[in-house]
Structure 1
Amino acid sequence: MKRILMLATGGTIASMESGHGLSPAITSEEILSHVPSVGELCQVEAVQLMNLDSTNVGPEHWLNIANAVRERYDSYDGFVITHGTDTMAYTAAALSYLIQDSPKPIVITGSQKSIALDDTDARRNLYDSFRYAVDRDSHDVSLVFDGRVILGTRARKERSKSFNAFSSVDYPERAVIRDGKLIRYLAPRPYAYGAEPVFYDRLEDRVLLLTLIPGMGAEALGLLKDRYQAVILQSFGVGGLPGGENGPLAQAMEEWLLAGKTIVMMTQVPYEGSDMSVYQVGQQVKERFQLMEAYNMTLEAAATKLMWVLGQTGDPREIRELFYRPVQFDVIQ
C-alpha cells in the first residue's frame, strides 16, 4: 500500500459555525475520520499545518506548504492538501512553481460545504483526491474537485456556491473520477526512476494587479510605483491600452519601466487569452515598451509565476526568459 500524507490548512472543509459565521475548526484527524474508506486505498497520515480561512492564505503560507512537502518528500508516495476554495487556485498555481518536476503527486482539494454536514461535497472530493494520489501515473501538482483533475496552473474558481466550482481554463482536464474510477484524458508525463523534484523557497510578493475600466486615469499606477516591484495590467479583449502609446497610462508605464519595475499585460476575458498584436492600441504599446504579455495564462498562474520569477532574479532578460518558460502547460503562445 502506498503512503500518502494529508496536509490540512483549514478552509470550508474544516469549518464550523462560530456564532459569527463559518470558521475553520475541524482538525486533520477529524477530517479523515469522516472518510474511513480512504484507509482502503492507502496508508494515510495527517499533519495540521494551519487552520485558516483561505482568504487569509498568501505567499508566506505557500512557502510553508512547499517546505512541508519538501521536508517529508522522501517518506511518502504522495500528498493531499486540504484547503479553502476561495484562494485554492492561487495556491495550486504557486505550488506548481515552488515544486517543479515532481514524480510524486501533490493534490489540492477542499469543498463548498463543511465535511461535518450531511449534504457536503467534502467527502467525495477528499476520497477522489486520495484515489488520484495513489495512482501510479499521477505526478506533479493537481487540483481535484467535483470529480475533475485539473493542472495546478490551469485551475480557476468560477462559481461561488455550486459544487462544480472549478474549471480548467484553456487546457483540457487531466482526468475525471467517476464512481471511484479514474479516467485519464491526458497521457501521464513519464519520469525516470529516481527522478527528483526541484524545490524553490523564494517569492517576491510585491506584485500589483490593476484592472482597467473605461475612463480610468493613470493616477493609481503612478502613486503605487514605489510600493511594488511589478504590476499586472488587466485590459480589454485581446489586449490594448486606453490612450495608446502616448496616453497618460503609457506615460505612467514608462515611469515604472525606467524605475526598473516589471509590467505584464493580460486580458480580463476569462477564456482564450490576449494577443496585443491584433489592434493598433495594443501593438504599438507592446512594441514601444517591449512589454511582457500573459497570453492565455490564468490570472492565478500569471500572478504567482511573476512572484516566483522575481524571487529568483531581478535581471530583465532573465525575468522575461523565466516568465515565458512553460511550467506545467501554464502558457501557450
Structure 2
Amino acid sequence: MKKVLMLGTGGTIASGKTDSGLTPILTSAELVAQVPDISDICDVDCIQLFSIDSTNITPSHWLTIAEAICENFDRYDGFVIAHGTDTMAYTAAALSYLIQFSPKPIILTGAQKPILFENTDSKTNLADAFRVAVSELCGVMIVFNGRVILGTRARKTRTTSFQAFSSINYPLLAVVQNGFLMEYIRPTSLPKPQFYHALNPKIGLMKMIPGADFGLLSYLIEHNDAVIIESYGVGGLPSYQGSGFFDVIRTAIDNGKTIVMTTQVQNEGSNLAVYDVGFHLKNHLQLLEAYDMTTEAALAKLMWILAQTDQTSEIRRLFCTPIAHDLLFLKEEVR
C-alpha cells in the first residue's frame, strides 16, 4: 500500500464554531480520523505545520510547506495539504514554482463547510485528494469537488458553492467520480524534482478602475521590486492623464523595476498588440505581458524569479519560459 504524508495548515475544513465565527481547531490527524475510507486507500502519516485561516497565509508559509515536502520527499509516494480555500490557488501556484517537475502528486484540498458540520464537502474532498495522491498523476494540483486542477491554473470562482474552483485557460487534469479517477492529462515530470527555497515578497498589484490615477501606480512601484497591473480586456493603459502612466512605467523600468501587464478578465488572456492603448506600451517599453497566465501564477512566479536574480534579461527569460504549463499563448520571442 502506498504511503502519503498529510500536511495540516488550518482552513475551513479544520474549523469549528466559536463566539466570533469559524476558526481552525482540528489537526491533520483529526481530519484523517473523520474519513475512515482513507485507510483503505493508503497509509497516512500526519504533520501539523500551522493552524490558521488562509486569509493569514503569507509567502513564508509557502516556504514552510515546500520545506516540509522537501524534507520528506523520498519517504512518501504522495502529499496532501489541507488548506483554506480563500488563498489555496495562490499556495498552489507558489508550490508549483518552489517544487518543479515533481514525479509525485502534491495535492491541495479543503472545503467550503467544516468537516464537523453535518452538511459538508470535507469528507469527499479529503478522500478524493488521497485517491489522486496515490495515482500516476504528478506535480502540484488542487482536488476539489471531483475536479483535479493544475496548480498554476486554479482560481477560486465561487465563495460558498461546493464547486469553488475553476481551471483557467487550461483543461481539467482529471475528475473523480464515485471514488474512481478518470485521468485526462498528465503534467510533465522528471525523475527528481527541483526544489527552491526562497521567494521575494515585494510584489505589488494594481487593479485598474475608471479614473485611476498614475500616482497610485507610482507609489506601488516605489515600495516594491515588481508590480503587476491588471488592466481591462486584452490590455492597455488610459491616456486621459496624458503620458502619465507611460512615463511612470518607463522611469520604473529604467530604474530596474519589473512591470507585468495582465488582464482582469478571467478567461482567454491578454494581448497588448490589439489596441492603441496597449500597442505603444508593448512596443516602446520593456515590460512583461502575462498573456494567459492567471494573476495568482504571475504573482508567485515573480516572487520565485526575483528571489533568484535582479538581472532584467534573466527576469524576462524566466518569466517567458513556461513552467508547470503556466503559459501557453506566448506571443513574443524571449530575449
Q: Give the TM-score, by structure 2 length.
A: 0.96
Q: Which residue pairs with 1:51 in the alignment?
A: 51
Aligned to 1:148: 147
Q: 1:203 aligns with which of 185, 199, 202?
A: 199
Match of 2:247 among 251, 255, 264: 251
Q: Provide the secondary structure at the position in 2 that maps to 1:89.
A: helix
The aligned counterpart of 1:278 is 274
Identity level (%): 52
Matched, 1:166 2:165: yes
Q: Deviations over 1:98-118 (max 9, x none)?
A: 000101110000000101111
Give matches, 1:64-75, under 5 Å: 64-75=64-75
Comparing 213-222 with 243-252, greater Cα deviation is found at 243-252
Match of 1:303 in 2: 299
What is residue 77 of structure 1 aligned with on the other side? 77
Q: In the alignment, which of 215, 238, 241 is matched to residue 237 of structure 2?
A: 241
* 1:320 match: 316
8 Å contact kept, 1:245–1:288? no
1:127-138 counterparts in 2 under 5 A? 127-135=127-135, 137-138=136-137
- In structure 1, stretches of 5+ residues that fail to align are none
Query: C-alpha deviations, 1:135-169, integer Å up to 9, x for none?
Result: 1x121100000000000000000000000000000
CA contact 1:244–1:282 (8 Å) conserved in 2: no
Look up the match of 1:86: 86
Structure 2 residues not aligned, in runs of 5+: 331-335
Equivalent-residue separation in structure 2 for 1:323 and 1:100 (angstroms): 15
Residue number in structure 1 paired with 2:3: 3
Q: Does 2:98 match 1:98?
A: yes
Deviation at 1:22, TM superposition (A): 0.6
Cα deviation, residue 290, structure 1: 2.0
CA RMSD of aligned residues (A): 1.2
Q: CA deviation at 1:226?
A: 2.5
Partner Cα distance (2:99, 2:241) in 1: 39
Q: Is the 8 A contact 2:102 2:194 kept in 1?
A: yes
Deviation of 1:189 (Å) = 4.0
Q: CA deviation at 1:190?
A: 6.2
SS in 2 for 1:319: helix
Alpha-carbon distance in 1 for matches of 2:186, 2:223: 44
Q: Which amino acid in 1 is paired with 2:209?
A: I
Give the AA of the match of 1:146: N
Alignment partner of 1:308: what SS? helix
Cα distance in 1 between the residues matched to 2:114 and 2:30: 12
4+ residue runs over 3 A deviation: 187-191
Matches of 1:41 and 1:266, distance apart in 2: 41
Per-residue deviation, 1:244: 8.3
Residues 244 and 284, structure 1, Cα contact 8 Å, conserved in 2: no
What's 1:40 paired with?
40
